[in-house]
Structure 1
Amino acid sequence: MLETVFLGKQDVEKYQMLTVIKSLPKAEINLSAIGNGLGFTYQKTYNIFQALLDDIFDLDPEISNRSSKIESINFDRIAIDSYRLFLFKNSIVFQAFDYGFTNANPTFENFSNSHFTSKSTLNRRMTNFRKMLKNFGLKISNATLELKGDEKNIRWLAYFIYWYTFHGLEWPFKLIQQDTIEKMADRDDNPVAKLQLEALLGISRVRLIKHHYLEDMSGFDELFPQHKLGKDLITRADYSLIPMDKLDNENKYINTLKDFCFQPSHFLVPESPDLTDQINPKIYGLAYKFINFMKNKYQSKFEITSDPKAIKYLADDIVRDIGFYYIIAHDAQIKLGSYTRDPSEYNTLSSTYESIYNFFANVDPNEYGPIRNSVESIAHDLYKVMINYIRGVSDEDILHIKVLTDVGNQVEGLLMNTLSSMEFIAVQPSNVYKNVDILITTLDAFPDAEGRDRYPDDLIVIPWNQTALRSDYMYLLVRLYHIYTDKLQRNHEKGSRIEY
């Protein structure tokens, strides 16, 4: 979670609270539901909510003119991206990073004077940021607040931070004008890719203005031997004083993302460019070797059609990921995975993740050294890809749910249909008691009417309204998924092998 790098504890909790609020149906937005979603006590939930309200009123004064009662607040007016940007802009750590990256002649003394902060205070608050930099093989200068290390990694870290923070809401770089960059971005086919490309080009221009050049792009040359990839956007007309080999490297870096990584999956857009003939065959060879490894490991649980086209499309997605790290992490490690997930998700990472990690951790270091530099990041990325093809939840992780509703009421059918859509759920007969995780019932008399002691001590009871709306059924699945991941976490902590 990038928020934990730049924000203090309370700001992280406020941000998490807003994400929970935005995930709840409007009828379910109350302090108890919010606290349950966060695992907070009622008093802590109340305190954090009051602090969140202060921020919301600053962001949108119209809300404060109406009411501070939770049921009267229109949370649709506050976007998560906007609130994240608000918090980051007020973060002294983000301000220090942004100052060092974009200022033409940064010094710590000037930053300290303008932000009324001492070096010791800033260093203390930047502890998590320095840890993040270490995962990219980078450091930050105590004298200038500039990043030091391999230029490829500096560019990628900067892109990751600026794109995640601003997310198309505002132009991040005061040092350069956005309109000069907009003219260069040639991605009219996709408005999101165009915004991402503008951010990349903005970072490129900032670094070139400050005379920070890409000295080595040998990973690109190895991956795309004797081939140009895409249209060059950085031209001699724009940068007449920069050596041609440096401009060439600049275009290689931009095109790696523009024409390779930012291309849509062939599963979504079959007519996307096919780079099979341009890329070094050893990368596709590794992708197919990995697919076969997963097939052999998961056997019937690995569900993918035997159609060669579908397998090729999957290989394309894998190649885009490992090829990116082969180029960008060619000279220094990149460990990005821990900043693209909520920390709570780590305990539910499965053997699928471990299998991916172990495969790429054991590739030949002489042939695939850059991939060895990025095993954690690759495993996190490909976990999100491969989990779509691997099915099967281990017996100990199944949620056993019992449903007790009014006989003859159609609600039972709706509940059963909803529950049957999730593979981690097993509905239990009404005469089963011991192996029940959750009881969903339309009668508040249960489970006491049957004898509470017949059920497990940790039974979760979900009362169900017979007049529930379709949206309530959708939220039920979200709630059950959270309960399922909690069970995964408990099993993981017991040393169980998780198979999902």
Structure 2
Amino acid sequence: MKGAIMKDFLNHEYVRKLVVLSFLNNYSKPVSIEKIAEKIGSTKFTVQSILDDLEYDLLNEKTLTLGKTVDKEYFLKTIELSQDVFLDRIHLNYAKKSVIFMMVDELFDKNGINTKKFCIENYISQATFSRSKQKLALIVEGCGLQLPSYSKNGIEGSEYRIRNFYFLFYWSFFNSVEWPFDVESYHKIASFIDKDESKLFANISKIQRNKIIYILYISLKRISLNNSLKEKPSKDLKEFPNYACFFNCMKNFFFEYGIKTPELLESEIHYLFFVFYDNKLIDFDEDILQYFTYMNKNNPTYGKISNFWINIFDDVFKLTLSQKQKIDLFHDINTLHAHCELVHCKQKYFYKNYIEENFYAYEKIELKLKKYVEKLFYRLDENTEYHNFRITYLKVLSDEDIINQYFVFIYHFLLLEMEMEVEPVVVYIENSLDYRVKEILEKKIERIFGNKISIIKTLTKHIDLFVTDHHIQGEDIRKEIFVPTFTDRKKFDLAVKAIQKLVSQKVVLSNHTKINHFFH
């Protein structure tokens, strides 16, 4: 097994522990040391040492322990919530003790690192600091930024991108566990959002609300360290009713923190407008396409490239796009290119539980789609105008980075645009002793799955699952789940899980059919 949870920011010893924990977390039954060693590519001695350490590390965990059978097979034993939530906390605890994590935290807090003081306070040797700094420099460079030789100068590059780097870092590590900064700041920002009279935040979800709080806190922190936004917005944005409402709301927010300089307010609020929209944190009433149309008037290259992109996309995938689809694509590809130009950071650094070689494409249909996306990219890049656009505006992204961005974009578009019904799972329910038991089972299962299943009354050739109290002659026993009565909760739950698995398979099949429709 390669990869672990955001491994690039963690000390090697913690990565090894998380690899073992992730493996146990994903395994449905106790596993031998030999099996673990084989799967993670390590020796039995090393695995035993890691398991001993984990046993000690988990002593203070109230919700998760490491279990061991009489045959010396290991498993994770949870008390309350899902295992992944618990791994998030363990992962964060390991991160807080990791040098690179501490360096990023220090850079954010102080905009630089006093090497001597940092090493003394954290009991780190100069050699360890140097090695860790080199690794961090590679991560930062992968995000289109720079870490100068003297860390006291902080991370350098586009302020939009620096803020996104810190947002992704803190959000990915902390969001499911705890707030990373002072609690008073959280409550003050949250209170502003909750009491806002403009109703800008009226319909946001909990996760959107928390993201907004993180983004606003990071903006305030960067302002306090005199890290101003160099990107200058157009004043004409104020002509849009949406932007005027947003501007006034955010102006009131900054006023609460004594930030009133017109130029600073203008650049900061424009930044927030873009970031909130890019992350889909607020639903604007007005068609935001006006904003991007205006942007294209100021930078006609964007609009020209988007139209060219749509034409090549249409040709490579042999589509017949409607006018509405073309307008939506124009809007969305503009947004994607703006994201890549202004804030993009390499996603693999911030995702949890990924295997790097399969990060974007794993199944055959996805690998096939990626080949088509590569074909699209190279067709685009043959064009001089697109090539110049790419090396000018998307210069921090490698060819592979751009292909990966296009892959997710196109995958999303094709699945959303191709309306295709998912076939229901066909279930036959029988009870040999009491027809009322049969009908109760039918109703209970029907209420759980609704139109995702079709319960039939007679035997046919196309039945996905039998829920029965006896083997039905001539039918495949592997399709049968034995449920003697509706009060047998354990057996009933097995039937529900079996149906859920089949529903998931049907959804995957439907998605594959949608995507495969475009291949020729």
Q: TM-score range by the shorter chain?
A: 0.5 to 0.7
Counterpart Cα distance in 2 of 1:176 and 1:127: 35
Deviations 1:235-262 (A, max 9, x none): 5623546642122111111111113432
Q: Which residue of 2 aligns with 1:245?
A: 263
The alpha-carbon deviation at position 339 of structure 1 amounts to 5.5
The alpha-carbon deviation at position 100 of structure 1 amounts to 2.3
Backbone CA RMSD of aligned residues: 4.4
Letter in 1 for 2:476: Q
Of all paired residues, the percent bearing the same amino acid is: 15
TM-score, length-scaled by structure 2: 0.63
**How do residues 207-246 of structure 1 correspond to structure 2 at under 5 angstroms?**
207-217=222-232, 221=234, 227=240, 229=243, 231-232=246-247, 233-235=250-252, 237-240=255-258, 243-246=261-264
**How do residues 392-407 of structure 1 correspond to structure 2 at under 5 angstroms?**
none
* Contact 2:63-2:86 within 8 A present in 1 as well: no
Counterpart Cα distance in 2 of 1:79 and 1:355: 42
**How do residues 14-53 of structure 1 correspond to structure 2 at under 5 angstroms?**
14-25=17-28, 27=29, 38=40, 44-53=46-55
Q: What 5-or-longer segments of structure 2 have no aligned partner?
A: 194-199, 416-472, 482-493, 506-518
The alpha-carbon deviation at position 317 of structure 1 amounts to 4.0
Counterpart Cα distance in 2 of 1:11 and 1:476: 37
The alpha-carbon deviation at position 95 of structure 1 amounts to 1.0
How many pairs were matched up?
Answer: 400
* Contact 1:261-1:320 within 8 A present in 2 as well: no
Q: Which residue of 2 aligns with 1:382?
A: 406
Q: Which residue of 2 aligns with 1:198?
A: 213
Q: Which residue of 1 aligns with 2:74?
A: 70
Q: What 5-or-longer segments of structure 1 have no aligned partner?
A: 392-406, 416-467, 480-498
- Of 8, 15, 18, the match for 2:11: 8
Deviations 1:99-146 (A, max 9, x none): 221138852232222112233221112322110112323214635272
The alpha-carbon deviation at position 409 of structure 1 amounts to 4.7
Letter in 2 for 1:144: K
Instruction: Determine helix, strand or coil for the equivalent of 2:150.
Output: coil
Q: Which residue of 2 aligns with 1:292?
A: 311
**How do residues 265-414 of structure 1 correspond to structure 2 at under 5 angstroms?**
274-280=287-293, 281=296, 283=302, 286-299=305-318, 308-309=323-324, 312-328=327-343, 335-336=346-347, 340=351, 342-345=355-358, 350-355=370-375, 357-358=377-378, 363-364=385-386, 369-374=392-397, 376-388=400-412, 408-411=474-477
Instruction: Determine helix, strand or coil for the equivalent of 2:291.
Output: coil
CA shift in 2, pair 1:388/1:174, >3 Å = closer
* Contact 1:168-1:195 within 8 A present in 2 as well: no
Please identify the structure whose Cα radius of gyration is greater. 2
CA shift in 2, pair 1:263/1:313, >3 Å = farther
Counterpart Cα distance in 1 of 2:388 and 2:97: 45
Q: Which residue of 2 aligns with 1:153?
A: 161
Counterpart Cα distance in 2 of 1:224 and 1:38: 53
Letter in 2 for 1:384: V
The alpha-carbon deviation at position 295 of structure 1 amounts to 3.1
CA shift in 2, pair 1:342/1:61, >3 Å = closer
**How do residues 51-62 of structure 1 correspond to structure 2 at under 5 angstroms?**
51-60=53-62
Instruction: Determine helix, strand or coil for the equivalent of 2:317.
Output: helix
Residue 131, structure 1, aligned to residue 138, structure 2: yes
TM-score, length-scaled by structure 1: 0.65
- Of 122, 146, 154, the match for 1:115: 122
Deviations 1:405-436 (A, max 9, x none): xx945245689xxxxxxxxxxxxxxxxxxxxx
Counterpart Cα distance in 2 of 1:127 and 1:477: 48
Stretch moving more, 159-168 or 335-344? 335-344
The alpha-carbon deviation at position 57 of structure 1 amounts to 2.9
CA shift in 2, pair 1:370/1:210, >3 Å = same
* Contact 1:287-1:315 within 8 A present in 2 as well: yes
The alpha-carbon deviation at position 181 of structure 1 amounts to 2.0
Counterpart Cα distance in 2 of 1:74 and 1:171: 24
